[in-house]
Amino acid sequence: MAQGTVQYPGQGCIVEFMQDNAPQIGIVLEEKKERLRLLLPNRRESVISSSRVLPWSGPVCSASNREDMIRFLESRREIRAEAEKEINTQELWELASGDLDRATAQWFAELIFPAPTADDIAACGHALMQAKTHFRFTPPVFEIYDAATVTRRIQELEKQKEREQLISRGSAFFRRLQEHGRSHPDVPVPDEDIQDIATTLRRMLLTRIADPDTKEEEALWNIVTRGLAETPYLPLLLAESWGIVPPHHNFWLDRADYDPVPDWQSVFADTLREKSSLAESYRESIVFGQPLLSIDAETTKDMDDAFTLEKHTDGSFKLTVALACPALNWSFGSAFDKAVSHRATSLYLPEGTWNMLPNELAENAFSLKSGSPRPALIVVCHISTNGEILSCEPSIATVTVNANLAYTECETALDGATTPASPYLETLRFGLELAEILKRRRIEQGAVIIDRPDLHIELSGTGREIQVSMYEEPPCPRAHLIVSEQMVLINTALARWAIDHNAGLLYRTQDVAIPKEFAGEWNDPVDISRVVRALAPAVMETTPRPHAGLGTDVYATVSSPLRRYADLVNEAQILSILQNGVAALTTDELDALLIRLNARLDAVTQVQRMRPRYWKLLALKQQGDKVWRKAIITDENDMFLTATLPQEQIFVRARRALFNEKAHIGMPIEVRIGKINPLQNDFQLLETREIEEILN
Query: Per-residue DSSP letters for 564-621?
Result: BHHHHHHHHHHHHHHHHSS-SS-HHHHHHHHHHHHHHHHHHHHHHHHHHHHHHHHHHH
Contact predicate 206/254, CB 8 Å: yes
Number of H helices, E strands in the chain: 19, 26
Query: pLDDT tens digit string along 609-622?
Result: 999 999 999 999 99
Give the Cα separation of 57 and 43 in Å (integer). 20
The pLDDT value given to residue 285: 64
Planar angle of CA 388, 393, 399, nearest 5 degrees: 120
Give the Cα separation of 300 and 303 in Å (integer). 7
Band (592; pLDDT cuts 50, 70, 90): very high
Q: Is the pLDDT of residue 696 over 50?
A: no
Band (4; pLDDT cuts 50, 70, 90): low
The pLDDT value given to residue 1: 54
Q: Is the pLDDT of residue 693 over 80?
A: no
Q: Is the pLDDT of residue 181 over 80?
A: no
Query: pLDDT tens digit string along 514-548?
Result: 888 999 999 999 998 888 888 888 999 999 999 99
Instruction: Give the number of other CB atoms < 10 A from CB of residue 5.
Output: 22
Band (2; pLDDT cuts 50, 70, 90): low
Query: pLDDT tens digit string along 319-370?
Result: 999 999 999 999 999 999 999 999 999 999 999 999 999 999 999 999 999 9
The pLDDT value given to residue 166: 86
Higher pLDDT: 181 or 111? It is 111
The pLDDT value given to residue 190: 73
The pLDDT value given to residue 534: 81
Angstrom distances, CA of residue 27 to CA of 9, 59, 126, 450, 541: 10, 10, 18, 91, 83
Residue 225: DSSP 8-state: T
Query: pLDDT tens digit string along 433-478?
Result: 999 999 999 999 999 999 888 899 999 999 889 999 999 888 899 9
Query: pLDDT tens digit string along 540-581?
Result: 999 999 999 999 999 999 999 999 999 999 999 999 999 999
User: 244-270 burial, b for 16+ CB within 10 Å, e for fewer?
Assistant: bbeebebbbbbbbebebeeeebeebee
Q: Pick from 217, 215, 229: which is nearest to 174 by CA?
A: 229
Instruction: Give the number of other CB atoms < 10 A from CB of residue 432.
Output: 19
The pLDDT value given to residue 275: 93
Contact predicate 531/522, CB 8 Å: yes
The pLDDT value given to residue 73: 94
The pLDDT value given to residue 438: 97
Instruction: Give the number of other CB atoms < 10 A from CB of residue 231.
Output: 12
Contact predicate 166/220, CB 8 Å: yes
User: If you write DSSP's letter for every residue of 239-269 in order, what string do you get?
Assistant: HHHHTSS-TT--HHHHHTT---SGGGGGGGH
Percent of the chain with pLDDT over 70: 97
Q: Is the pLDDT of residue 13 over 50?
A: yes
H or E element that contains 174: helix 147-183
Query: pLDDT tens digit string along 190-234?
Result: 777 788 888 889 999 999 999 988 888 888 899 999 988 888 899
- For residue 284, give the 3-state DSSP assignment: helix
Percent of the chain with pLDDT over 90: 77
| Mean pLDDT calculated for residue range 167-180 | 88
Cα-flanking dihedrals φ and ψ of residue 3, to 5°?
-65, 130
Cis peptide before 140 (omega within 30 of 0): yes
Band (694; pLDDT cuts 50, 70, 90): very low
Q: Which residues, in sequence order, are CB contacts of 294 under 8 Å at separation 6+? A: 303, 305, 306, 307, 368, 370, 401, 403, 404, 405
Residue 149, CA atoms < 13 Å, CB-side half-sphere: 14
Highest mean pLDDT among 518-522, 594-598, 633-637, 658-662: 594-598
Give the Cα separation of 220 and 227 in Å (integer). 14
Contact predicate 585/593, CB 8 Å: yes
Residues linked to residue 520 through DSSP beta bridges, in sequence order: 448
The pLDDT value given to residue 695: 42
Average pLDDT, the chain: 92
The pLDDT value given to residue 317: 97
The pLDDT value given to residue 579: 95
Contact predicate 502/426, CB 8 Å: no
Residue 473: DSSP 8-state: P
At how many degrees (to 10) do helices 195-210 and 147-183 cross?
70
Band (392; pLDDT cuts 50, 70, 90): very high
Instruction: Give the number of other CB atoms < 10 A from CB of residue 143.
Output: 14
**End-to-end C-alpha distance for the chain, whole angstroms:** 108
Q: How many residues does this entry show for the chain?
A: 696
Query: pLDDT tens digit string along 258-274?
Result: 999 888 999 999 999 99
Query: pLDDT tens digit string along 62-101?
Result: 888 999 999 999 999 999 999 999 999 999 999 998 888 9
Query: pLDDT tens digit string along 22-41?
Result: 999 999 999 988 899 999 99
Give the Cα separation of 189 and 246 in Å (integer). 13
Q: Which residues, in sequence order, are CB contacts of 375 under 8 Å at separation 6+? A: 278, 279, 282, 285, 325, 328, 366, 396, 397, 398, 399
Higher pLDDT: 390 or 160? It is 390
Give the Cα separation of 419 and 613 in Å (integer). 34
| Mean pLDDT calculated for residue range 160-172 | 87
Q: Pick from 680, 2, 678: which is nearest to 350 by CA?
A: 678
